Structure 1
Amino acid sequence: MPSRRRGEELEAAILEAAWAEIQEHGYQRLTIEGVAARVQTGKQVLYRRWPNRVHLAVAAIRHVLGPLVETVPDAGSLREDYLTVLRLMAGRARFYTPELLHGLLSEMPGLHDFFSTLPGFLAEILRRAAARGEITHADLPDRVINLPLDLVRYEGMRGTRNWATLAEVDLEKFFAEILDDVFLPLVMALAGPRNPEGRPPIG
């Protein structure tokens, strides 16, 4: 008889089973009972860790997919650093369907921070841009800081972007529109370069 799973081993099995259920049947058909049956454990084992299916689903996403960004991008410019984050975000979005996003957000309105995420990473990107002289300061409103990510997420929730099949050239064009036509002009209007050359003043 196989040994009984406990602790981290059992939790990992549950989260992987929850993700498998989402992938196979969709979020709307995800149930605590279904995941428990898949893992061959009691549903109360799950309820002791996660109060409902949305918390279970979020934990499963984090467990299976890992962090979106592990280190702050440092590509040498504000545009390239944000572009790196958007590329990572699009790669992650290939695993999300509009049905999953709508389901999670409808059941857990406070989930916004989970998907916009990266406040510390984005703030550091802006601080580095200020240190390079691209902008005068990094003290920008949160809505501005998160704007590129919010626009990508909005497109995904509208269902207008099929991330899994979108060609790389189209993806890059979409990101360029967000950064060059919307985000960077706004940032420059609020915290433009310190001098025409974009370098901090000497002395």
Structure 2
Amino acid sequence: MAENPTRRSDARQTRRRGAALEDAILAAAADQLTESGYAGLTMDNVATRAGTNKNTIYRRWPNRLALGIAAYRQLATTAPLPDTGSLRGDVLEFLRQANRHWSSPLGAILRELFAAAGGTAELVGQLRDQSGDAEAAPWLTILGRAVARSEAAPEALHPRVATVAIVLLRNEFVVRGSPTAPDDVLVEIVDEVYLPLVRQRGATSR
């Protein structure tokens, strides 16, 4: 009697282990996020798509939010750092990149995840690329270029200073619930907060 092809497929699925199985689960969760957003993400649907069972998923991700965050990280891409030749130009363009992302369908998923995470610092940290250092790195690069051009003093190279602009932009989405930030808000963040702060760090060191 000929072997049922469905059974062969099921056997291959049950033999998956380790990274291959995790990749299949994350791919299924990412597809579900793209189609239905975080609200439509369920362990049942992901298990069915991945050809596994819920217990297998729960052994790797303790809840739906943790799985959603891991799946979002599969979808997110890193934009190239702007290099306009000036600190103001770099910061403003990087904010505009972030604003476009947060205003996009993928950004809508990110906002859903932030809302679901609430005050859970560990999960919010995962959304921010797992560490404050990782989030600060591109901003410190931009600020480091400004220091090399003598636009800023070395004392300005501090992670909290470097990331002030992106934190203020994030607040527009997470705290205020804005679907997008007008460009004049980005300009205000740069001209009224970021540049004065960077310049003051240099002034106080003298």
Q: One fold, TM greater than 0.5?
A: yes
The letter of the residue matching 1:111 is: V
- Whole-Å Cα distance in 2 between the matches of residues 138 and 72 of structure 1? 22
TM-score by length of 2: 0.73
- In structure 2, the partner of 1:88 is 97
The answer to whether 1:101 aligns with 2:114 is yes
Describe how 1:11-160 pairs up with structure 2 within 5 A.
11-28=22-39, 30-66=41-77, 68-69=78-79, 71-93=80-102, 94=104, 95-97=106-108, 98-112=111-125, 114-115=127-128, 117-160=134-177
Sort the Cα spacing of 1:122 and 1:52 in 2 relative to 1 into closer, same or farther, 3 A: same
Q: Secondary structure at the match of 2:154?
A: coil
Sort the Cα spacing of 1:147 and 1:52 in 2 relative to 1 into closer, same or farther, 3 A: same
How far residue 92 of structure 1 moved from its aligned partner, in angstroms, is: 2.2
The structure where helix makes up a greater share of residues is 2
- Whole-Å Cα distance in 1 between the matches of residues 196 and 177 of structure 2? 25
Deviations 1:135-183 (A, max 9, x none): 12154443322111111111111354213xx7xxx3x322111101111
Deviations 1:51-90 (A, max 9, x none): 3322211211111123x34x54322111222223212212
Gaps of 5+ in 2: none
The letter of the residue matching 1:77 is: S
**Count of residue correspondences:** 185
CA contact (8 A) 1:54 1:107 kept: no
CA contact (8 A) 1:33 1:43 kept: yes
CA contact (8 A) 1:78 1:125 kept: yes
Larger CA Rg, structure 1 vs 2: 2
- Whole-Å Cα distance in 2 between the matches of residues 52 and 108 of structure 1? 16
- Matched-pair identity in %: 35
Gaps of 5+ in 1: 193-203
Give RMSD over aligned pairs.
2.9
**Bigger Cα displacement from structure 2, 149-158 vs 78-87:** 78-87
